[in-house]
Amino acid sequence: MSKMLVSKSSVNIRTISNITALTTFILLTGCQTLPSTMSKTMQAPANNMSASNPLTAQMSAVDRQGRIAYVEEQGIGAAKMSTLYSIRPDGSDRQLIDQLNGYIYAPAWSADGQLLAYSKQAPRQHPKIYIYDRKSNIRNLAVNAEGSNMSASFSPDGQKLLYSSTVGGNADIYEIRLSDGKTTQLTTLPSTEVQPSYASDGQSFVYTSDKVRAGRPRIYRYHFETASATPVPTSGYVASPQLSLDGQRMAYLNGRKAAVMTLSTGQITNLAETGLDEPARLSPSAQYAVYPTKLSQVGGQNSGSLVIHSLSGNTSYAIGSKVGGVVRSPIWGR
């Protein structure tokens, strides 16, 4: 089933409307808190260099030289202000990408780390998907269909974008070809299908669906060749999957915990319950995971940090928010 969605435009802004599907989107988008038994915890200042951070110094170049994009929120209701930043894993070189009175959701890097897709919603508007180009420093509107357009994911070649949208009524998954805006609807179920994430070979993607039981999401893998989906073996409430580049691990939300699963064995590493119900996200090498945590209150507002955790050494450190806001949706790119 194919349909054209409004696409193309250039720059701009977002608020949450009372749409049932959008509420489901937000419930399925995930968060956590610092583990109580960290081997090592370090608070990295904004100008921290890798030489002063033993964990960062041990990272491979692909991780150390990459960038983590994340959202920082301040205020509530009509006063909500969202800011999209990128930062080095050592806490240095924090850069502002976008900001608006409203909401920014779920940033996602292209495979080469040059493009960043994300949703944003200005007051009294539906969420739209934008793509930021690091080289030109330009933001272009990619998806502006009526409804809630969320959870973008770049194809490995950067030519297409997966996303979920309520343009057809309930939430389904779509794929858009960025060169001309041609859009294909991939799921057509009456249930909620959200949070797609491409596998690095481009042959499949993982996503979240509550088709078995409403409000009880599970993770599935959709295969392009057969246009069919199979469940990923998990239990309980799970959501927001992301596959590692080597296809060996999956980061996701396991109940209320940021977690990583080794797919070949089914072994699960629960990293933390962050207090935000957000998932973990893997570094390019899949040797580290990043997740947000709600740590304290500043001026009556919740503030938080990014936690970077070594999956092999069981060590962690934190990078504080820039202005004491709530930290959400980190994603680690090249």
**CATH number of the domain enclosing 91:** 2.120.10.30
Residue 268 inside a domain? The answer is no
Confidence of residue 199 (pLDDT cuts 50, 70, 90): very high
Tokens 């949706």 belong to which residue? 329
Using alpha carbons, list the distances in angstroms from residue 295 to 35, 43, 49, 227, 318.
11, 12, 23, 43, 10
Spatial contact of 15 and 105, defined as CB atoms under 8 Å apart:
no
pLDDT of 104 strictly over 90? yes
pTM (global) more than 0.85: no
Spatial contact of 315 and 55, defined as CB atoms under 8 Å apart:
yes
Task: Give me the DSSP letters along 104-129.
Answer: EEEEEE-TTSSEEEEEEE-TTS--EE
Q: How far apart are CA 212 and CA 195, in angstroms?
A: 17
Residue 107 inside a domain? The answer is yes
Look at the chain and report how many structural domains it folds into: 1
Residue 94 inside a domain? The answer is yes
pLDDT of 133 strictly over 80? yes
Residue 19 inside a domain? The answer is no
- For residue 90, give its domain range: 77-190
pLDDT of 295: 63
Confidence of residue 8 (pLDDT cuts 50, 70, 90): very low
Residue 315 inside a domain? The answer is no
Residue 211 inside a domain? The answer is no
Q: How far apart are CA 175 and CA 186, in angstroms?
A: 7
Average of pLDDT values for 200-222?
A: 95
- Sequence-distant (6+) residues with CB within 8 A of 140 are 8, 9, 10, 11, 130, 131, 133
Confidence of residue 1 (pLDDT cuts 50, 70, 90): very low
Give the distance, in angstroms, between the CA of residue 46 and the centroid of all CA atoms in the same chain: 22
pLDDT of 294: 84
Q: Which residues of 101-113 are buried (b: 16+ CB within 10 A; e: fewer)?
A: ebbbbbbbbbbeb
Specify the range with the lowest mean pLDDT, choosing from 1-10, 98-107, 113-122, 243-252. 1-10
* Percent of the chain with pLDDT strictly greater than 70: 81
- Tens digits of residue pLDDT in 10-59: 222 232 223 233 333 333 333 323 232 233 333 344 333 334 466 788 89
- Tens digits of residue pLDDT in 252-277: 999 999 999 999 999 999 999 888 89
Q: How far apart are CA 119 and CA 174, in angstroms?
A: 15
pLDDT of 241: 98
pLDDT of 27: 38
pLDDT of 54: 60
Average of pLDDT values for 79-93?
A: 95
Q: How far apart are CA 161 and CA 110, in angstroms?
A: 10
Average of pLDDT values for 148-162?
A: 98
Q: Which residues of 26-47 are buried (b: 16+ CB within 10 A; e: fewer)?
A: eebbbbbbbbeebeeebebeee
Q: How far apart are CA 71 and CA 86, in angstroms?
A: 9
Residue 10 inside a domain? The answer is no
User: Mean pLDDT for the chain?
Assistant: 84
Q: How far apart are CA 136 and CA 139, in angstroms?
A: 9
Q: Which residues of 198-225 are buried (b: 16+ CB within 10 A; e: fewer)?
A: bbeeeebbbbbbbbeeeeebbbbbbeee
Residue 326 inside a domain? The answer is no
pLDDT of 171: 97
pLDDT of 202: 96
Specify the range with the lowest mean pLDDT, choosing from 53-67, 136-150, 298-312. 298-312
Spatial contact of 51 and 59, defined as CB atoms under 8 Å apart:
no
Spatial contact of 250 and 263, defined as CB atoms under 8 Å apart:
yes
Tokens 């808190």 belong to which residue? 33
pLDDT of 2 strictly over 70? no
